[in-house]
């Protein structure tokens, strides 16, 4: 069994969920011996061997396998054993309809090629090899679905779970989004059909890309209400998720690091290029919403301000490059801990800023106005993805030079291998945009917006991320150089009082408003069951929250460049 599944870079060791495994040939039961973490051996079988595995399935994430009375869902990597050495042989998958009356309305949704199925989709599917077999998640439930066409091929949006929305409207929006992406890469799209497998939940957000489908988990209320006009903020989040996973159909499912060809599913597959695949995809996920006409420039700039804020609130960006973060994804991004904000940078969010900076650099090169990141991404697709060639670890830099000349080389080297901040304020200025910094207005402030004029300005900060815990606030992360770290507070300490007065989720900001930078106060916190006091010197609130404004005084050229980039 695989230890991980492509797209999610963590050794999950799916074999640990195998609760029983038996084998027999035509004559008799054959003993099954487990020989390492994910392999079993059967000796002495004559002729055809049948292996039966029983798997515990209660992981409702996009990476798992799940079965209850409401639905079944699985990634093949979680359930399907591979006869070792036969990775390249064709496979069939038989899905047998459950007999339980509770499942009478269940139907199958998957992009796996059909061999012979009934009207509900139960029956036989086929795959050319094991890699294809496990790259088509399967939804089995009484789900809703809507069909649409984009790029000349059929698309389907499937939604399991409870929701209340107008799927025809969503299909119309997805059509625009998918068309815009096919337009970028060129017709026809590299799949015969495409399926978005959605799961509407109370609280959740995530996706996983596949070659002809994607799994999406989203809040049920992210979908627009029936009859609702416009594209509200939560729905933008849903569309950005769909946009991200769809973009991956080209960019990481087909254009991929050479280190992934073939995937070695029993171990970590290291590459320094995850930033190229996740960062560039994260940049385009939002840009495609603008190009498709689903959001306007104002909403785009708000979302960009939020991305900038995510990066600039992470001191770890000074310690780790996105090339290193990519390489260490397996034990880094996928295994976050209390020190992650100080030690690591996200190759998603800083990767997206790198893509932004590269695009803006290309778009403002003198005499090179016609070359943009679109040309680079398309060239990657045509030279690598379309021809099943993997991108070498240094392949991107040379491709950029081929397409755009040496101009962007310095920016790219600094952005990918360096740990300094990118010159984005200067670059955005060439597009008539001003990057502004301010302190956070509160714990829910994700940036992207100017501060509300009437809000009280918090002058001091703790330099820690907190969450409510019992009667106090647990320090989830203690940021490098902040007041909390200098006072000796640790992650997992539970702060209960400042200056002798209790603080909690709703009172911390109110208490801190009373102080000026440089004032010293006593802080009381539990470390385990010991109550400790700390001498806390309050520091100025970090200016780590970013928003963008159009600069009316910028030159005509700058506004023209912005219009060429984002439209009117
Ligand atoms: Zn992604």
Q: What is the C-alpha separation between 297 and 160, in angstroms, rounded? A: 32
* pLDDT, position 460: 86
3-state helix/strand/coil string of 205-225 = CEEEECCCEEEEEEEHHHCCC
Tell me the helices (H) and strands (E) count for the chain, helix number first.
17, 27
- 245 CA distance to ligand 1 middle (Å): 6
Is the link from the previous residue into 120 a cis peptide, with omega within 30 of 0? no
Q: What is the C-alpha separation between 461 and 511, in angstroms, rounded? A: 11
Q: What is the pLDDT along the chain (568 residues), one digit of tens a residue?
A: 999 999 999 999 999 999 999 999 999 999 999 999 999 999 988 889 999 999 999 999 999 999 999 999 999 999 999 999 999 999 999 999 999 999 999 999 999 999 999 999 999 999 999 999 999 999 999 999 999 999 999 999 999 999 999 999 999 999 999 999 999 999 999 999 999 999 999 999 999 999 999 999 999 999 999 999 999 999 999 999 999 999 999 999 999 999 999 999 999 999 999 999 999 999 999 999 999 999 999 999 999 999 999 999 999 999 999 999 999 999 999 999 999 999 999 999 999 999 999 999 999 988 756 799 999 999 999 999 999 999 999 999 999 999 999 889 999 999 999 999 999 999 999 999 999 999 888 778 899 999 877 555 677 889 999 999 988 999 999 999 999 999 999 999 999 999 999 999 888 888 888 999 999 999 999 999 999 999 999 999 889 999 999 999 999 999 999 999 998 7
- 61 CA distance to ligand 1 middle (Å): 15
* pLDDT, position 236: 98
Q: Which residues contact 261 (CB under 8 A, 6 or more apart)?
A: 388, 390
CA dihedral of 342, 302, 248, 152, whole degrees rounded to 10:
180
- 252 CA distance to ligand 1 middle (Å): 8
- 112 CA distance to ligand 1 middle (Å): 21
Q: What is the C-alpha separation between 369 and 374, in angstroms, rounded? A: 12
Q: Assign 72 to helix, strand or coil.
A: strand
Cross-strand pairs, 461: 539
- 513 CA distance to ligand 1 middle (Å): 40
Q: What is the C-alpha separation between 392 and 407, in angstroms, rounded? A: 21
Q: What is the C-alpha separation between 189 and 191, in angstroms, rounded? A: 6
- Show the DSSP H helices in 186-343 as ranges: 233-247, 274, 280-291, 297-312, 322-327, 340-343
Q: What is the C-alpha separation between 448 and 309, in angstroms, rounded? A: 8
State the CB neighbour count (10 A cutoff) for residue 209: 23
Distance of CA 400 to the CA centre of its chain: 25
- 529 CA distance to ligand 1 middle (Å): 41
- 418 CA distance to ligand 1 middle (Å): 23
83 exposure class (CB count in 10 Å sphere: 0-12, 13-18, 19+): exposed
**Longest alpha-carbon distance in the chain:** 85
- 279 CA distance to ligand 1 middle (Å): 8
- 127 CA distance to ligand 1 middle (Å): 24
What's 278's DSSP letter? I
- 275 CA distance to ligand 1 middle (Å): 10
- 470 CA distance to ligand 1 middle (Å): 36
Residue 134 contacts residue 95 (beta carbons within 8 Å): no
- 150 CA distance to ligand 1 middle (Å): 21
- 485 CA distance to ligand 1 middle (Å): 33
- Show the DSSP H helices in 336-387 as ranges: 340-343, 349-364, 373-383
- 320 CA distance to ligand 1 middle (Å): 20
- 359 CA distance to ligand 1 middle (Å): 19
- 237 CA distance to ligand 1 middle (Å): 14
Q: What is the C-alpha separation between 159 and 220, in angstroms, rounded? A: 10
- 302 CA distance to ligand 1 middle (Å): 21
- 477 CA distance to ligand 1 middle (Å): 25
Q: What is the C-alpha separation between 212 and 135, in angstroms, rounded? A: 8
- 241 CA distance to ligand 1 middle (Å): 9
- 259 CA distance to ligand 1 middle (Å): 17
Q: What is the C-alpha separation between 337 and 115, in angstroms, rounded? A: 46
Q: Which of 127, 125, 49 is nearest to 87 (CA)?
A: 127
Q: What is the C-alpha separation between 518 and 504, in angstroms, rounded? A: 22
Handedness of CA 334, 335, 336, 342 (dihedral sign): negative
- 450 CA distance to ligand 1 middle (Å): 29
- 251 CA distance to ligand 1 middle (Å): 9
- 168 CA distance to ligand 1 middle (Å): 26
- 322 CA distance to ligand 1 middle (Å): 15
Q: What is the C-alpha separation between 147 and 153, in angstroms, rounded? A: 11
Q: What is the C-alpha separation between 49 and 300, in angstroms, rounded? A: 56
Cross-strand pairs, 39: 36
Q: Which of 501, 504, 505, 525 is nearest to 514 (CA)?
A: 501
- 547 CA distance to ligand 1 middle (Å): 24
Q: Which of 516, 505, 523, 517 is nearest to 443 (CA)?
A: 505
- 249 CA distance to ligand 1 middle (Å): 10
Q: Assign 527 to helix, strand or coil.
A: strand
């Amino acid at each position: 069994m695989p230890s991980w599944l492509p797209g999610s870079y963590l050794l999950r060791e799916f074999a640990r969920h195998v609760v029983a495994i038996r084998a027999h040939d035509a004559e008799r039961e054959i003993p099954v011996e487990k020989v390492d973490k994910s392999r079993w051996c059967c000796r002495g079988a004559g002729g055809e061997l049948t292996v039966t595995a029983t798997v515990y399935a209660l992981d409702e994430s996009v990476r798992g396998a799940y079965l209850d009375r409401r639905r079944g869902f699985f990634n093949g990597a979680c359930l399907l054993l591979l006869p070792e050495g036969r990775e390249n042989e064709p496979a069939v998958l038989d899905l047998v309809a459950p007999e339980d009356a509770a499942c009478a309305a269940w139907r199958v949704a998957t992009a796996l090629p059909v061999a012979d199925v009934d009207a509900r989709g139960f029956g036989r599917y086929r795959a050319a090899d094991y890699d294809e077999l496990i790259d088509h998640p399967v939804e089995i439930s009484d789900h809703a679905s809507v069909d649409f066409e984009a790029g000349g091929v059929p698309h389907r949006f499937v939604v399991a779970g409870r929701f209340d929305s107008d799927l025809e409207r969503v299909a119309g929006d997805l059509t625009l989004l998918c068309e815009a992406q096919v337009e970028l890469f060129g017709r026809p799209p590299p799949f015969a059909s495409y399926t978005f497998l959605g799961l509407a939940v109370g609280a959740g957000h995530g996706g996983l890309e596949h070659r002809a489908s994607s799994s999406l988990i989203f809040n049920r209320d992210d979908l627009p209400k029936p009859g609702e006009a416009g594209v509200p903020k939560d729905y933008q989040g849903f569309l950005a998720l769909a946009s991200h996973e769809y973009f991956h159909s080209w960019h990481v499912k087909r254009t991929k690091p050479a280190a992934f060809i073939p995937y070695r599913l029993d171990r970590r597959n290291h590459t320094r290029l995850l930033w190229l695949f996740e960062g560039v995809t994260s940049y385009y996920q939002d840009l495609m919403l603008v190009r498709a006409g689903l959001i306007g420039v104002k909403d785009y700039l708000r979302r960009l301000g939020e991305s900038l804020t995510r990066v600039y609130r992470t001191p770890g960006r000074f310690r780790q490059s996105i090339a290193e973060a990519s390489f260490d994804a397996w034990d880094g991004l996928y295994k976050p801990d209390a020190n992650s904000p100080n030690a690591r940078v996200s190759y998603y969010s800083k990767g997206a800023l790198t893509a932004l900076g590269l695009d803006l650099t290309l778009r403002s090169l003198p005499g090179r106005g016609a070359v943009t990141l679109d040309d680079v991404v398309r060239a990657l697709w045509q030279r690598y993805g379309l021809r099943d060639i993997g991108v070498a670890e240094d392949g991107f830099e040379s491709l950029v030079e081929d397409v755009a000349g040496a101009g962007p080389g310095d920016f790219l080297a600094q952005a990918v291998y360096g740990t300094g901040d990118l010159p984005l304020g200067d670059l955005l200025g060439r597009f008539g945009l001003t990057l502004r910094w301010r302190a956070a207005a509160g714990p829910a402030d994700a940036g992207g917006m100017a501060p509300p004029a009437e809000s009280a300005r918090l002058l001091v900060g703790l330099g820690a991320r907190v969450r409510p815990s019992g009667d106090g606030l647990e320090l989830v992360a203690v940021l490098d150089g902040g007041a909390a770290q200098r006072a000796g507070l640790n992650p997992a300490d539970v702060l209960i009082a400042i200056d002798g007065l209790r603080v909690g989720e709703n009172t911390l900001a109110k208490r801190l408003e009373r102080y000026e930078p440089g004032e010293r106060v006593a802080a009381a916190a539990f470390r385990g069951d010991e109550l400790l006091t700390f001498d806390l010197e309050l520091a100025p609130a970090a200016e780590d929250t970013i928003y963008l404004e159009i600069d009316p005084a910028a030159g005509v050229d700058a506004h023209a460049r912005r219009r060429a980039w984002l439209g009117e």
